[in-house]
Chains A and B, each alone.
Chain A
Amino acid sequence: MAGTWDDRAGIENGDRPSSGGSPTARTTRGPSAASMPSAGRSVALYLAIPVLVGVAGATTLGLSFTGLLPYLPTAAVDVSYSFLRMLAAYAASLGFALAYGYYAASRPTGERVMIPVLDILQSVPILGFFPVAIVFFVNLTGPGSWLGPNIASVFLIFTSMAWNMVFGVYESLKTLPSELREAADTFGVRGWKRFQRVLFPATVNRLVYNSVLSWTGGWFFLVEAEIFTTNSHALPGIGSYLSFAASAGNGEKFVAGLLMLVLVIALLDFAVWRPLGRWAERFRYDTSPSGEGEVAGPNRDPSGRFRRAAAYVTRGVRSGVSRVTTPLVQLAAITVRPVRKPTAFQRSAFYYVALGAILVSVWLIVIAITVAVFHIFTGPIAPWVRGDLLLVPFAVAASTARVAGAYAICLAIALPLAVFVARRPRASRVGLPIIEVIASFPATALFPVIIFVLVPYLSPNGAAVLMLLTGMLWYLFFNLLSGVRSLPPDLEEAARSYGLKGRQFFRRVLFPGIFPALVTGSITAFGGGWNTLIVAEYLQVGAHQSLSVLGVGQMIDIGYARAPAGYPLMVAALFALVATVIAINELLWKPLYRRAAEQFRYD
C-alpha cells in the first residue's frame, strides 16, 4: 500500500533530511533500539538484579537466606511508607512543573524572573535546607506530631524532583516548532483545546524522561532524609530501616531491606517507566524548521533514557541566567583587570585568586549577618557556637576540596569507562541497562554500610569521599557517554584517515568533541556532590557509631543536632554553602558552559 512511487523515492532517499519519513532509518537509530533489550531478556535482567543483590549481599556477609525471610514483611511495610512519600512528592512536582513551566514559557515577563530564580534554586544543595525544613514543619504542626517530619521529607523529595521537570516542561514548550503553534492558530485552536491537543502533548516526552530522573533523585533524597532523621524524628521508611539495621549490626535485616528496595525500584522501572518511555516516544517532535528528522538537544543522542534525562537536568543552566549573573561577572572582571598586559596564565590565575577572595569575603559576610540576626532576635549566641562559627570558612574550604577530590576520581573512572562503553555497541547493549538500573538505585541506601562497616578501613575522610563519589559518578558517566556517542562519526573517520592517534586524537578530536558534555556532566556531578555532603560528613546513629569530618555538611548537621543553640551555626553554614555553590556555578561552570556552547559545537 505504500507502493506509490513517491513513497519509494522517500525511502530510497532515507538519509535525506527532507524525506523525513524513512521509518527504518529512524528506528534503528531510535533511542529505544540501541539500549533496550528484548522483552524476554529484560524480564530476565530485572529478575536477576534483585536476586543478585540478595545473593551477593547474603554471601559476602556470610548470612543464610532463611535468615532473611522473617525480615522481608517488615521491610516491605517500610518500603511502602517510603513509596507513598515518593508518590505524594511526585504528584506535587508534576502539578508544579506543569503550572510553573507553562507560565514561564508563555509569559515573557514571567520568564525573565521565573527561570533565573529556578536556576538558582536548582543549583542550591537542597539537602542543606532539610534541617531547616524539619525545624520549620515540626514547629508548624506541633512537636510530636507525625505530620511535621513527613511533610518535611515530602517537601525535600519534592524539591529534588520538581526542578528538572519544570525545565522539561519549559524547554519543550520553548522548543516547540513555531509552525505547530501557527497551525493551531490557523485553525483557530485556542484555550483548553489548545492545551489538550498541542501544548500538553508537547511536554509529555520530556516529562516522562525527566520523571525517570526525578524518581532516581527522589529515592536518593528520600533515603537520605530518612537516615538523617533516624536520630531525631524517626520516619518509618526504608532509609531508617536500613540505618537501624546497620547500626544494630543486623546483616540479615539490612540485606532484606536492600532487597525490598531494589525490588521496588526494578519493578517500577520495568512495569512503569519502560512502557511509559516507549509510549512517550510518540510525543517527540522535530525541532528543525524544515521538519526533518533532527531532534532537539540531548534527544538527538540515540540511546539511554537515563542519559538523556541526565542531560536535561542541566539544560536549564543555559536559560536566561546571565541577567542575574552579569553584575557579578563584571565585578570579577573589574577586580581582575591588570595594569600590564598579562599572559593567559596570569590572567586566569588572577581570575581564580579574585574568585577565592570574593568567596572568602562572602563567607565572612554571611557569618556576620547570621550572627547579627540571631543576636538581635534570639539573644546572645552560645560560646561553643561562636567558636564553631569561626571555623565555617575552613569547613566550606574543606568540603569544597573533598567534592573536588571526589570529582577528580569520578572523572578518572567515568571518562575511560564512557569511551570504552561507547566504542563497544554490543557490550553496551547488555551492559547499559544494567548500569542504568544500578544508577537508579539510591546509593544512600548503602551509606549505613559505608559508615558502620568501612570507616575503620577507609578513615572518616576516605569514607566521606567514597560517599560523595556515589552521589556524583553517574551524572558524569552518563553525560560523557552521551558526549562520546554523539561525536559525529565522520569527524572520527577524518581523524583516522589523517592518522591521528593516542594523545593527539584525544586533544584534537575526542576532548573538544565531548567538552560540552563534560561541562554539563561536571555541573550535575558537583550538584550531586554538594547534596551528598550533608550526610557524608556527619552521621550519628545510636550512641557509639558516628562519622564526623570537618566540613560544611558537618556544621549544618551539628547545628541541627544541638538545637536550638546550634541554629545560628546551621544557618550560617548553610548560607555559606549556598553562596559557594552559586559562586562556583556562576563564575566557573557557566563561563565554561558558554565557551563550550560557542566553541565546541559541531552542529
Chain B
Amino acid sequence: MALIRVEHVDKSFASRHGSIAIMQDITFEVKDSDFLAIVGPSGCGKSTLLRLIQGLDRPTAGAISFRGQPVAGVCTQMAMVFQSFALYPWLTVSQNVAFGLEALEWPKEKIGSQVERYISVTGLDGFQEAYPRELSGGMRQRVGLARALAVEPAVLLMDEPFSALDALTAESLREEILQLWRDPALPPEAVILVTHNIEEAIQLADRVIVLSRRPGHVLETIDVDLPRPRDRKSGPFYDLTDRIYSLITQGGAPLPPPSGADGRSAS
C-alpha cells in the first residue's frame, strides 16, 4: 500500500519577471518501510518537494496524498529534520525535544518519559538541560532527530540533514540513523531523505529518485539492492554512484515544456 502518493506535481513561484517553474510533473510513491532518497542538483526543488509533501506549501498543480487522503494543511504525522537544525536557542535540549509533543497536547508525565526515551535513543543523555548553543553541530542534529522521532511520525522527512556538518560527524550520524532505522521498535514507517550527496543517498536509501536541473522532473528511480552495511569502495556502489552522477550531469536537460507552460522563459 502506498503511504504517500505524489502525482503530476508542478510547482512554480512568482517572481518579478513572471513565474519560475521549480518542478514539473513529479510522480512517485512512498511505500511502507521505504527509505527513499531524493537527489538532484541544487535548485531542482528537492527541499520544496519535501515541504509540499508535508503540506507546508501547496503544489501549483497535481496532487499529493497521505494514506489515501489528500494532504491539506500541515500533516503532523510527518516530522521534519532540518538542514540548519532549526532548534530554538531559548529552549533546552529537553524542551526542544518536547516541542512537538506539547503541540500535540500530550499529558505532562507522558511527555517527560517520551522525551527521556528519545534523548537516550539519540545518545543525548546528560545533555538534557543544555542549550543548543552549547552543543556541537553533530549533537545539535541529534536533538533535531530526537525532536522529530519523539512525535512518533509515520514518515520522517530529512532535508539535507548532514550538509551542515563536517564530514566525520556526518558519517557517524549516518551510521546511527541506519541503526535506528533497523530497530523495528522505533517509529517512522518510511523515511524521505533529500540530499545532493549521491554517495549518501546510495549508502542510506532503498530507492533513489534522481531529479533533473530546474525545472526538476524525475529522471529515473533507481533501486539500491546492495546488501548492508554498504561498502563505498565496492564495485557495485561505485557503478551506481557513477550512473547517478552521469544522469544528473548529462541527462539534466530540461523536459520539453508541456503545452501552455513556459517555465524556462523566466529564468
Contact = CB atoms under 8 A, between A and B. Distances in A.
Contact of A6 (B80, B104, B127, B169): B169
Interface in B127-143: 127, 131, 133-140
B139 to A, nearest CB: 6
Given A20-B140, A177-B84, A283-B90, A186 B169 contact: no
Interface in A258-313: 282-286, 289-292
B6 to A, nearest CB: 18
Contacts of B84: 177, 179, 289-291
Contacts of A198: 88
B167 to A, nearest CB: 9
Identify which of B51, B78, B137, B166 gathers the most chain A CB atoms within 10 Å of its CB: B137
Identify which of A16, A187, A201, A285 gathers the most chain B CB atoms within 10 Å of its CB: A187
B73 to A, nearest CB: 9
A23 interface: yes
Identify which of A16, A21, A22, A282 gathers the most chain B CB atoms within 10 Å of its CB: A21
Interface stretch (A7-15, A108-116, A219-227, A517-525): A7-15
Contacts of B86: 177, 179-180, 182-183, 291
B132 to A, nearest CB: 9
Contact of A188 (B51, B90, B104, B127): B104
Interface string B126-161: 110001011111111000000000010000000000
Contact of A290 (B89, B100, B134, B164): B164
Contact of B76 (A16, A179, A188): A188
A6 B126 contact: no
A22 B103 CA distance: 31
B35 interface: no
Contacts of A501: none
B74 interface: yes
Identify which of A2, A185, A186 gathers the most chain B CB atoms within 10 Å of its CB: A186
B2 interface: no
Contacts of A190: 103
Contacts of A21: 133-137, 139-140
A285 B86 CA distance: 10
Contact of B131 (A9, A187, A282): A282
Nearest to B82: A179
B129 to A, nearest CB: 12
Interface in B102-117: 102-104
Contact of B91 (A7, A193, A197, A286): A197
Interface string B51-87: 1001010000000000000000010101110111110
Interface in A180-226: 180, 182-183, 185-190, 193, 197-198, 201, 204
Interface string A162-189: 0000000000000001011011011111
A198 B89 CA distance: 10
Nearest to B84: A291
A4 interface: yes
Contacts of B54: 186
A291 B164 contact: yes
A182 B56 CA distance: 8
B102 A185 contact: no
Contact of A282 (B89, B136, B139, B151): B89
A2 B105 CA distance: 32
B168 interface: yes
Given A9-B168, A21-B140, A198-B88, A189 B82 contact: no
A98 to B, nearest CB: 16
Nearest to A286: B89
B134 A9 contact: no
Nearest to B165: A18
Interface in B22-69: 51, 54, 56
A204 B90 CA distance: 10
Interface in A1-51: 1-2, 4-7, 9-11, 13, 16, 18-23, 26
Contacts of A177: 84, 86
Contact of A18 (B79, B80, B127, B164): B164
A185 B56 contact: yes
A22 B166 CA distance: 13
B118 interface: no
Interface residues of A, number: 43
Identify which of B76, B84, B88 gathers the most chain A CB atoms within 10 Å of its CB: B84
Contacts of A289: 84
Identify which of A18, A193, A282, A290 gathers the most chain B CB atoms within 10 Å of its CB: A18
B56 A7 contact: no
Given A18-B166, A179-B82, A291-B84, A189 B137 contact: no
Contact of B74 (A186, A284, A290): A186
B74 A19 contact: no
Interface in A92-112: none
Contacts of B259: none
A19 B74 CA distance: 31
A1 B166 CA distance: 20
Contacts of A183: 80, 82, 86, 88, 99
Contact of B103 (A5, A182, A193, A292): A193
B85 to A, nearest CB: 5
Contacts of B100: 186-189
Contacts of B51: 182
Contact of A10 (B56, B99, B133, B139): B139
B80 A186 contact: yes
Contacts of A285: 88-90
A206 B74 CA distance: 30
Nearest to A291: B84
A509 to B, nearest CB: 33
B133 A26 contact: yes
Nearest to B102: A193
B82 A6 contact: no
Given A2-B139, A177-B86, A291-B82, 15 more contacts: A1-B126, A18-B137, A19-B165, A19-B169, A21-B139, A21-B140, A182-B51, A182-B82, A186-B54, A188-B100, A189-B102, A193-B102, A197-B91, A201-B91, A282-B90
29 contacts: A1-B127, A6-B139, A6-B172, A9-B138, A9-B169, A10-B137, A10-B166, A13-B166, A18-B164, A19-B136, A21-B133, A21-B137, A21-B140, A26-B133, A177-B84, A179-B84, A180-B86, A183-B82, A186-B76, A186-B100, A188-B104, A197-B88, A197-B99, A201-B91, A283-B89, A285-B90, A290-B164, A291-B164, A292-B164
